Chains A and B, each alone.
Chain A
Amino acid sequence: MSEQVRSTSRNGAEVATGTVPAGARSTVAVTVNGTHRSAEVESRRTLSDYLRHDLGLTGTHVGCEHGVCGACTVLLDGTPVRSCLVFAVTAAGHQVTTAEGLGQLDESGDPNSLSPVQRAFRDCHALQCGFCTPGFMTTITAGIAENPDPTRDEAVEMIAGNLCRCTGYQNIVDAVLRAAELAKDPAAPLTDRFTEHSDAAHSADQDADGAGA
C-alpha cells in the first residue's frame, strides 16, 4: 500500500501534509545535497535510516539513536540537527546536507578540492576511527558559517554536543580553528599552531616530569 504525502508550497518552502496509516509506506521526497531524492518509507522511518538504508548515503553514521552522541548530525535547511531524532516524513520537502555533500575530491585527487572543514580534519589529524567524524564535520560547517572567527573556547562550545571515543578532542578543536582560517583564505599556510600543538604539550609534560625527578 502506498500513500502520497502531499507536498504543498508555503512561503516558498515545500511541506509534507496528509495522513499515512500505520505500516503503510508513502513517497517521501527530500532534496539531499542539492539533488532531488525520494523513497517509499513508513512514517516511523527516521531521517538517519532514510539516508542510509533508502538512499544508500552511508556517510551519516548512527551511534546511539537517542540524540546523545551526535554522529548522525546533518544540516536540515542549513541548521545542524540529529537525523536520528527527525522522521523522514517530517523532513519531506526540505533541504538536507550530509557529510557527502560537504565536498568531494575532484578528479585530480587534489586534497585542496575538499571543503575547508574536510581539509582541516586532514591537516590537524582530527580523526582516528572516523565514526564520529561526519557529525563533527556537519556541526562545524554550520558553526563556522555562523561564527567565522571562533576563539578556542568557542570552538570547544561548538563541538560540545558531539562525542568522540578516540581523539581526546584537542585535534578536533584545532580543526575548528583551522577550518575557520581556510574558509576565509583557502591558501592559508598550515602553521605550527596546529601541527605542533600536541607535540608542544607533550614535551612540556616531559619537562615537568624531568624537573620533578
Chain B
Amino acid sequence: MKPAPFTWHGPRTVDEAVAVLAEVGHEGKVLAGGQSLIPVLAMRLAEPAHLVDINAVAGLDRIVVDATGVTIGALVRHASLERDDAAAAAQPLLRQALRLVAHPTIRNRGTTVGSLAHADPSGEMTSVLTLLGGTITARSARGERTIPATEFFVGPLESALAADELAVSAHFPAASAGTGSAFVEVARRHGDYALCGVGAVATVDPAGAVTGLRCGYLSVSETPLTVDLTDAWNSGDDAAAATAAAARAAVDPLPDIHATAEYRRQLAGVLTVRAAEQAVAQAVQRVGTMGRDNESGHNEEDRSA
C-alpha cells in the first residue's frame, strides 16, 4: 500500500509545468488533489516515473463567474466551488451535484478539473460537464486548445488529453432563463460512488409548459451519457412511465460487485423521473419568480400607499 518511487516535480507556473510534461511525456502524471491518483499509486495500479505536482502553481485556483457561465482553474477544490454562491446562482447544477461527490473531507482536497481529467464515468462532474455542454481548456508546450465535453471523454478513465497536456480550466455554461435543474443518485453508503446518478435540466415556457428536458447519467455507461427526454415527458397521460422507459432503454450499465446491470437500469428509470420532476418544479418556480418580480415593479405605488 505504498506508492513506488517517482521523481517529483514542483513547478510554480503553468509554463514550468507544461515544460516538464513535454520532457517526461508518457512517463509522467499530473498530481492535483491526489484523491484519485494517490489510491491508484498506493495500490500500484500505476507506477509513473514522474509526478508533476501542480499544487503550488500560481493562478490556477480562480473561480470566474460571468454572463457566459462559470470557469474554474485546475486547482479549484470541489469544496470551494460548492461553497461559491455566485457560481451556484449562475449554474445551480454545480452545487446540486458537488454535494454528492464523495465526502466533505475528500472534497476539501480533490479538484473538480482533476475529476474531469480522471474521466471516471461514475464521477458526478463528468456527467454535469457533458449535460451542460461545457468545455475543458488544455495547455501544452505546443499551445492551448479548448475541447468540448462531448469530445473530451473518450472511454472509462480515458480523456482526450495528450500526455504532455495540462488541463488548466473547465467552463460550465450558465443556466439560461426558464430552466431548472436537479441531481439525484443512489449509493450503497452516503458519500460512496453512486450505483446510478441522474442530472436533469428542464426548460419551461412562460405558461409553464415543458419545452425541453435533458438528462445526464453516471455509472450506467462507459462515458458520460446525455439523453433528450422532451418528447417522452410530453407524451400524454402516462408521461412519467414513458420517460422512465426511455431512460431505461438509453442506458447501458455493467454489473459489478455493488449492483447488477438490471438493478442499475431500474434505478436509471426511477431516478430520471425524480430528477425531472424536481428540475421542472425549479424551472416553473424560476419563471414564476421572474413574473412576480415584474408584477412587484408595477405594484410599487400600492405598497407605498
Contacts and interface: CB of A to CB of B under 8 A. Distances in A.
Chains A and B form a bound pair: yes
Interface of A: 5, 8, 10, 15-23, 42-44, 46, 49, 65-67, 70, 73, 76, 79-82, 84-87, 89-90, 139, 158, 160-161
Interface stretch (B7-15, B205-213, B217-225, B250-258): B7-15
A87 B39 contact: no
Interface residues of B, number: 36
Contacts of A65: 1, 42
B145 interface: no
Nearest to A49: B2
Given A43-B8, A82-B109, A90 B53 contact: yes
A59 to B, nearest CB: 17
Contacts of A23: 5
Interface in B71-104: 79, 102-104
B144 to A, nearest CB: 23
B56 A86 contact: no
B31 A90 contact: yes
A85 B109 contact: yes
Contact of A44 (B3, B103, B190): B3
Contacts of B109: 76, 81-82, 85-86
B105 A46 contact: no
B10 A81 contact: no
A89 B10 contact: yes
Contacts, number: 106
Interface in B1-50: 1-12, 31, 34-35, 38-39, 41-43, 49
Closest 3 interchain pairs by CB? A161-B103, A43-B8, A15-B56
B10 A5 contact: yes
B7 A21 contact: yes
A81 B105 contact: yes
A22 B6 CA distance: 4
A161 B104 contact: yes
Contacts of A46: 2-3, 38, 42
A160 B1 contact: no
Contacts of A80: 104-105, 108
Given A17-B11, A43-B8, 19 more contacts: A10-B12, A10-B56, A15-B55, A16-B10, A17-B12, A17-B56, A20-B8, A67-B35, A70-B105, A80-B108, A82-B35, A85-B39, A86-B34, A86-B38, A86-B109, A87-B31, A90-B34, A160-B190, A161-B104
Contacts of B38: 46, 66-67, 84-87
A174 B105 CA distance: 20
Contacts of A85: 34-35, 38-39, 106, 109
Nearest to A3: B8
B1 A20 contact: no
Contact of A82 (B8, B79, B105): B105
A76 B34 CA distance: 14
7 contacts: A10-B12, A49-B2, A67-B35, A70-B103, A76-B109, A84-B38, A89-B10
A160 B106 CA distance: 12
A44 B7 CA distance: 9
B58 interface: yes
A66 B43 contact: yes
Nearest to B20: A19
A65 B2 CA distance: 8
Contacts of B1: 65-66
A19 B9 contact: yes
B105 A73 contact: yes
A23 B5 CA distance: 6
Nearest to A14: B56
A18 B79 CA distance: 28
B9 A160 contact: no
B191 interface: yes
B106 A87 contact: no
Contacts of B103: 70, 160-161
Contacts of B51: 43
A80 to B, nearest CB: 5
Contacts of B2: 44, 46, 49
A22 B7 contact: yes
A79 B12 contact: no
A171 to B, nearest CB: 19
